[in-house]
Amino acid sequence: MRTTVDLPPAVHHRVRELAASRHQSMSRVIADLTMTGLAGLQVEVEYTRDPQSGLPVLSLGRAVGDAEVADALDDE
């Protein structure tokens, strides 16, 4: 699933450096870091790749709806 994430400049810079040092895409690095962080929360997460786009997909056990996304954005 393709999504847009706003990262603070320092985080973006660090992820870009890490991706370059690992010879991986930023998407892959962010997905790996997200999986590591979620594992610490003991939430069941499934990591796959979209067969059509090849992009990483993280499944957290339920779908997130438009209203939840809008609420989260309003909280910022």
Check: CB of residue 52 under 8 Å from CB of residue 35. no
Per-residue pLDDT tens digits for 3-59: 888 888 888 999 999 999 999 999 999 988 888 887 777 767 777 888 988 888 877
Token pair recorded at residue 13: 């810079």
What predicted TM-score, i.e. pTM, was given to this entire model?
0.54
Domain ranges (residues) in the chain: 9-75
Cα 18 to Cα 16: distance, rounded to the nearest angstrom: 5
